[in-house]
Amino acid sequence: MKVVGFAGSPRKDGNTDVLLQQVLDGAAEAGASTEKLYINDMNFKGCQGCGYCKMNDTCKLKDEMVEAYDMIKSADALVFASPIYFSQMTGQMRLFLDRFYALVNSDHTSRIDAGKKTVIIGAQGAPAEVSFAKVYEEFAGILQQFFGMDVKDIIIDVGHHAPGEAKNSAELMGQAKNTGINLFE
């Protein structure tokens, strides 16, 4: 099994990245091969709305999203991780997700296999988990509706502000690790 994680935070080793790595470590412990891609390090443009991908089976833009598309198609499971910035997922993650339009046929069917296991990770400074629940629900809905993904867990880190502070929560770290271990069950 192959698990690919996409880090939507510009901050490496921040809370979002730490939790993403825990899920990947758990998946590796269960026997999966893992890979992580930092979206902020990628060189790509936003969707141009040109419709090229609806007349062809690929995006017109030949940028680093081509590699990401291949990773998504070949993976058995995907982990999407983004902190909350200004009440939404990061701009990097939103731009990345917008480019998934090229993975949808003109009749709104998916160009990737349905049933991929998926985990969504969020980190927010707000102390109440429900503060941004709609953001995570919307993200999960997109993955389910357009791609038939099986969202196994949504992990939300709350109240941590300093980079890597999530490591201090044994419960949260354990949840992330167990999610990775049990991803294919």
Which DSSP helix (H) or strand (E) runs through 179? helix 170-181
| Residue 159 covered by a domain | no
Which DSSP helix (H) or strand (E) runs through 4? strand 2-7
**Best CA proximity match to 124, nearest among 165, 153, 83:** 83
> Range of 87's domain?
32-40+50-116+135-151
> What is the per-residue pLDDT for 129?
86
Query: Over the stretch 39-49, which tens digit does the pLDDT of each residue have?
Result: 999 999 999 99
Q: Please provide the size of the chain in residues.
A: 185
Question: The tokens of 71 are what?
Answer: 């990773």
List Cα–Cα distances, 152 to 13, 48, 79, 155, 172, in angstroms. Answer: 24, 31, 10, 10, 16
C-alpha 162/C-alpha 3 separation (Å) is 28
Q: Within its chain, how far is the Cα of 4 from the centroid?
A: 9
pTM value?
A: 0.96
| Residue 67 covered by a domain | yes
| Residue 82 covered by a domain | yes
Q: What total of structural domains would you count in the chain?
A: 1
> What is the per-residue pLDDT for 71?
97
Q: Within its chain, how far is the Cα of 159 from the centroid?
A: 21
| Residue 172 covered by a domain | no
| Residue 20 covered by a domain | no
| Residue 143 covered by a domain | yes
Regions of the chain short of the pLDDT cut 50: none
| Residue 6 covered by a domain | no
Are 52 and 93 in contact by the 8 Å Cβ rule? The answer is: no
Question: The tokens of 77 are what?
Answer: 């499971």
| Residue 1 covered by a domain | no
> What is the per-residue pLDDT for 10?
95
